[in-house]
A and B are shown apart, each in its own frame.
Chain A
Amino acid sequence: MLFVVNTMSDLLIRGGRVIDPANGVDKAADVWIENGRIAAIGKHKAKADTVIDAKGQIVAPGFIDMHVHLREPGQEWKEDIESGSRAAAASGVTSMCCMPNTEPRLDHAGVVRQIIERAENVGLCRLHPIAAVSKNLEGKQLTEMRELSRAGAVAFSDDGRPIWNAGIMRRALEYASSFGFLIVQHAEELELTKGGVINEGWISTQLGVDGMPVEGEDSMVARDIMLTRLTDGRYHVAHISSGRSVELVRQAKAEGLNVSAEAAPHHFALTEEEVLNFNADAKMNPPLRTEENRLAILEGLRDGTIEIIATDHAPHHEDDKRCGLECAAFGIVGLETMLPVSLELVRNNICSMSDLIAKMTCNPARLLGLEAGTLSVGAPADVSIFDPDATWTLDRKKLFSKSKNTPWHGREMTGRVTHTIMDGRLVYANGNIVA
């Protein structure tokens, strides 16, 4: 009896505009995929097992979302690795980094290994966990970072909360950078944001709810940059939301410090006005800010201060959202709106298409040391194909994510992923998960 050992078939993406920022490529070409790797880019006449017609579409490396909350283990009714992977595949995302605030926390190698294995079994999206900086996210004792790294963790964060103690932060930066590890900070001075529901400003004053001032973020980013200078550490600001923090990162980079930042689409597309009618689906932490801050983030994206777009995908069950603005949980789902909302940057001439794609592919790959984010010959074949001009209306009920907490429900979107290829396999095509 003959066994078919080669389950990998070859795949041809024909006639698209191939944009691969890592290699400075932006041209009409075919992409040839063989054995899970990029085999060639150019004109191809040979026939393949699968052919995707990409005429009028953009063919890019698979996107990387370095900030998602997948809720597994512990809160699987909100999201799990399977539903999160489906949402990712439908969004052109082929690699994602999940945050450690699960139950149990990602503070032991066993849990990290377990969720990576889960994601591999689901087989729709690569999972690169960001493990906890401190045991049980308590901010008291460091986790075994080397062991966690060996298990597959690609960076360290206590996200969900900040590493607030300056002494612990110093040690974390020192210890982590001894081995080249990156610290990702949710920058929030808790004593300044205590009780806060939304951005502190004119809207919080009108609604009569406690606010979270941008200074809560700024003061911690400023402190952390000083500690990065002191320790020669590697520091990354998660979901930057304040214009002054963007300026602090800009200065730190100019000084040559190892500092980077990511912005979430909601922070550069929306403002605090969204919550004026007590809309809990526009409540997240850090909160939506003023137009002034939004513009400063756009400028940061334009000049490269912010080199990464990440969604802070934070699924919550309806029960945790439909209880009034003040009680509602913080967070919105972000994966499935990542591309169309981010394409606004190109339409508004903030970035070129290639720059935008870089912020969702090779830039995070470089920061995290992932073998992903390019279409180099020989690279793992993770590809995202999208129509930048397709218009559609977002219906929360049609989201692949288990949770439906999005502020964009009912709004017109421009730009849509049509195909996602992960590890050489077509995993998503025209509205459906394949496999």
Chain B
Amino acid sequence: MRPLQHVLGIAEISREQIEYLLQLGQPFVDLSRRPVKKAPTLRGKTVINLFFENSTRTRTSFELAGKRLSADVINISASTSATKKGESLLDTGHTLAAMQPDVLVIRDSRAGACHFLADFLENTAVVNAGDGAHEHPTQILTDLLTLKQAWGDIEGRTITIVGDIAHSRVARSHLLAAAKMGYKVRLVAPKTLLPVRIERFGCKVFNDFDAAIPGSDALYMLRVQSERLQSACFFPSIREYHEAYGLNMQRLDAAGNHTVVLHPGPMNRGVEIASDVADGARSRILDQVENGVAVRMAVLTALCGGQAEPKKRARKKEQAMAAQKAQRKLL
């Protein structure tokens, strides 16, 4: 398997790598349940969490992941970050990279922000913690670990994603992962919340939630930023949205008994999901939170823990080969 250099998006990682990360993640779930939740894997490594966009849960999840692996973790959030003062993304990236972190975790509201930085940073692994509406790879790994625990196998299953697809990095990353991992995705939303040509990802698209429910193995409810979307005419009211696209018990009952409920959080109770569903037996929402820490531990480990040595060796080998080549030319 190709060693991981960055985790920028599901687009850039292979099925093999995804499976490896899930495999690596499972034991970390157990570690986190122990009274002493600490492994020495990343001792002496530095992880910087650079959050240009507010997200307490993702940041906390990355922070815990680093700390449980004994890395030195530093959080920089938008309120304290220099970009507010007009420093460019590139300057911030360069400045932080000069401090020699091993991993830079980036959340930014601009699509491609971490891809852009990764191009300029040489010795730092970049992890995408969400870039605009583009990708959110660690969330997808989280979901896949959760579903693996629920079903054993993901291949052939159907995940139905409901809500604001247009502004969702989770939906895009799942569409990319589905093609690699062999599961099916259904998308449910009014046309206002569906980006054009989304069906080209190979998913089924529904405007009618009830029509999409039978045959769904998971119902994945997306967070709806109701005020913003309402004022921009994406839908008329929360009341009507909930009626058309909210998940209530009645709808959950229409799905099979095995069907589980997911949500990337934070939830708007009574908007995209009813409280009795969110807190019910088929909800895996808190498992997602727990697994989130574990897969992020797996990502950090793969980037600078277990994989670090072979990577360095590979580089040395490359250098040796290049030197040999050069010598041959001289001769």
Q: Are B116 and A207 in contact (CB-based, < 8 A)?
A: no
Q: Are A211 and B132 in contact (CB-based, < 8 A)?
A: no
Q: Mark B160-189, 1 if CB is under 8 A from A, else 0.
A: 000000000100100000000000000000
A322 near B: Cβ within 8 Å? yes
Of the listed stretches B144-152, B194-202, B262-270, chain A binds: B194-202
B135 near A: Cβ within 8 Å? yes
Query: Across the interface, which residues of A come within 8 angstroms of B90, CB to CB?
Result: 322-323
Q: Are B197 and A324 in contact (CB-based, < 8 A)?
A: no
With A202-B197, A208-B132 as known contacts, state yes or no: A326 contacts B172, CB within 8 Å: no
Q: Are B115 and A208 in contact (CB-based, < 8 A)?
A: no
Query: Across the interface, which residues of B come within 8 angstroms of A201, CB to CB?
Result: 196-197
A-B contact pairs, 10 of them (CB 8 A): A202-B196, A204-B195, A205-B196, A205-B200, A208-B172, A278-B116, A322-B90, A324-B116, A325-B111, A327-B110
Q: Are B197 and A325 in contact (CB-based, < 8 A)?
A: no
Question: Which residues of chain B from 80 to 126 have a CB within 8 Å of any chain A CB?
Answer: 88-90, 110-113, 115-116
Q: Are A202 and B112 in contact (CB-based, < 8 A)?
A: no
Q: Are B112 and A207 in contact (CB-based, < 8 A)?
A: yes
Q: Are A326 and B196 in contact (CB-based, < 8 A)?
A: no
| Closest-CB distance, A212 to chain B (whole angstroms) | 12
| Closest-CB distance, B194 to chain A (whole angstroms) | 9
Question: Which residues of chain A from 92 to 115 have a CB within 8 Å of any chain B CB?
Answer: none
With A207-B112, A208-B172, A278-B112 as known contacts, state yes or no: A326 contacts B132, CB within 8 Å: yes
- Size class of the B contact interface (CB-based, 8 Å): 20 to 34
Q: Are A202 and B200 in contact (CB-based, < 8 A)?
A: yes
| Closest-CB distance, A322 to chain B (whole angstroms) | 6
| Closest-CB distance, B319 to chain A (whole angstroms) | 26
Binding site of A, secondary structure by majority: helix, strand, loop or mixed? Answer: loop
A206 near B: Cβ within 8 Å? yes
Complex: how many Å from CA A411 to CA B195?
A: 33
Question: Which residues of chain A from 174 to 210 have a CB within 8 Å of any chain B CB?
Answer: 200-202, 204-209
Q: Are A208 and B197 in contact (CB-based, < 8 A)?
A: no
B133 near A: Cβ within 8 Å? yes
With A202-B200, A324-B110, A326-B110 as known contacts, state yes or no: A208 contacts B116, CB within 8 Å: no
Question: Which residues of chain B from 182 to 228 have a CB within 8 Å of any chain A CB?
Answer: 195-198, 200
Query: Across the interface, which residues of B come within 8 angstroms of A208, CB to CB?
Result: 111, 131-135, 169, 172
Complex: how many Å from CA A211 to CA B195?
A: 9
With A278-B111, A278-B115, A326-B112 as known contacts, state yes or no: A205 contacts B195, CB within 8 Å: yes
Query: Across the interface, which residues of A come within 8 angstroms of B172, CB to CB?
Result: 206, 208
Complex: how many Å from CA A205 to CA B132?
A: 12
Complex: how many Å from CA A201 to CA B195?
A: 8
| Closest-CB distance, B78 to chain A (whole angstroms) | 15
Query: Across the interface, which residues of A come within 8 angstroms of B88, CB to CB?
Result: 319, 322-323
Query: Across the interface, which residues of B come within 8 angstroms of A322, CB to CB?
Result: 88, 90
Query: Across the interface, which residues of A come within 8 angstroms of B113, CB to CB?
Result: 324
A-B Cβ contacts below 8 A, count: 61
Question: Which residues of chain A from 308 to 353 have a CB within 8 Å of any chain B CB?
Answer: 319, 322-327
- Size class of the A contact interface (CB-based, 8 Å): 20 to 34
Query: Across the interface, which residues of A come within 8 angstroms of B169, CB to CB?
Result: 208
Complex: how many Å from CA A205 to CA B273?
A: 26
Question: Which residues of chain B from 48 to 93 have a CB within 8 Å of any chain A CB?
Answer: 88-90
Query: Across the interface, which residues of A come within 8 angstroms of B198, CB to CB?
Result: 205
4 closest A-B pairs by beta carbon, nearest first, are A208-B133, A208-B134, A278-B112, A205-B195
Complex: how many Å from CA A213 to CA B200?
A: 17
Q: Which of A200, A211, A324 touches B112 (beta carbons < 8 Å)?
A: A324
Query: Across the interface, which residues of A come within 8 angstroms of B197, CB to CB?
Result: 201-202, 205
| Closest-CB distance, A307 to chain B (whole angstroms) | 32
Complex: how many Å from CA A394 to CA B89?
A: 28
- Kindly list 19 other residue pairs between chains A and B, CB separation below 8 angstroms, not including A323-B90, A324-B110: A201-B196, A204-B196, A205-B195, A206-B172, A207-B112, A208-B131, A208-B169, A209-B111, A211-B195, A213-B196, A277-B115, A278-B115, A278-B116, A322-B88, A323-B116, A325-B112, A325-B116, A326-B112, A326-B132
Complex: how many Å from CA A206 to CA B110?
A: 14
Q: Are B195 and A324 in contact (CB-based, < 8 A)?
A: no
Complex: how many Å from CA A322 to CA B113?
A: 11
Q: Are B111 and A323 in contact (CB-based, < 8 A)?
A: no
Question: Which residues of chain A from 35 to 69 have a CB within 8 Å of any chain B CB?
Answer: none
Q: Are B134 and A209 in contact (CB-based, < 8 A)?
A: yes
Query: Across the interface, which residues of A come within 8 angstroms of B196, CB to CB?
Result: 200-202, 204-205, 211, 213
Q: Are B133 and A209 in contact (CB-based, < 8 A)?
A: yes
Complex: how many Å from CA A71 to CA B6?
A: 40
Complex: how many Å from CA A319 to CA B115?
A: 17
Query: Across the interface, which residues of A come within 8 angstroms of B132, CB to CB?
Result: 208-209, 326
Complex: how many Å from CA A397 to CA B198?
A: 39
Most buried by A among B113, B169, B195: B195
Query: Across the interface, which residues of B come within 8 angstroms of A202, CB to CB?
Result: 196-197, 200
With A325-B112, A326-B112 as known contacts, state yes or no: A207 contacts B134, CB within 8 Å: yes
Query: Across the interface, which residues of B come within 8 angstroms of A205, CB to CB?
Result: 195-198, 200
Query: Across the interface, which residues of B come within 8 angstroms of A209, CB to CB?
Result: 111-112, 132-134
Query: Across the interface, which residues of A come within 8 angstroms of B115, CB to CB?
Result: 277-278
Chain B: which residue is nearest A209 at the CB level? Answer: B111
Complex: how many Å from CA A141 to CA B132?
A: 39
Q: Mark B11-33, 1 if CB is under 8 A from A, else 0.
A: 00000000000000000000000
Query: Across the interface, which residues of B come within 8 angstroms of A206, CB to CB?
Result: 172
Most buried by B among A205, A208, A213, A323: A208
Q: Which of B89, B111, B200 touches A207 (beta carbons < 8 Å)?
A: B111
Query: Across the interface, which residues of A come within 8 angstroms of B111, CB to CB?
Result: 207-209, 278, 324-326
Query: Across the interface, which residues of B come within 8 angstroms of A326, CB to CB?
Result: 110-112, 132
Query: Across the interface, which residues of B come within 8 angstroms of A324, CB to CB?
Result: 89, 110-113, 116
Complex: how many Å from CA A201 to CA B134?
A: 14
Query: Across the interface, which residues of A come within 8 angstroms of B133, CB to CB?
Result: 208-209
| Closest-CB distance, A327 to chain B (whole angstroms) | 6
| Closest-CB distance, B82 to chain A (whole angstroms) | 14
Complex: how many Å from CA A325 to CA B108?
A: 13
Q: Mark A265-293, 1 if CB is under 8 A from B, else 0.
A: 00000000000011000000000000000
Most buried by A among B90, B112, B169, B196: B112
Q: Mark B300-319, 1 if CB is under 8 A from A, else 0.
A: 00000000000000000000
Chain B: which residue is nearest A202 at the CB level? Answer: B197
| Closest-CB distance, B280 to chain A (whole angstroms) | 31
Complex: how many Å from CA A319 to CA B87?
A: 11
Complex: how many Å from CA A217 to CA B75?
A: 44
Query: Across the interface, which residues of B come within 8 angstroms of A327, CB to CB?
Result: 89, 110
Query: Across the interface, which residues of B come within 8 angstroms of A278, CB to CB?
Result: 111-112, 115-116
Query: Across the interface, which residues of A come within 8 angstroms of B116, CB to CB?
Result: 278, 323-325
Q: Are B112 and A323 in contact (CB-based, < 8 A)?
A: no
Complex: how many Å from CA A331 to CA B49?
A: 33
Query: Across the interface, which residues of A come within 8 angstroms of B135, CB to CB?
Result: 208
Complex: how many Å from CA A278 to CA B117?
A: 12
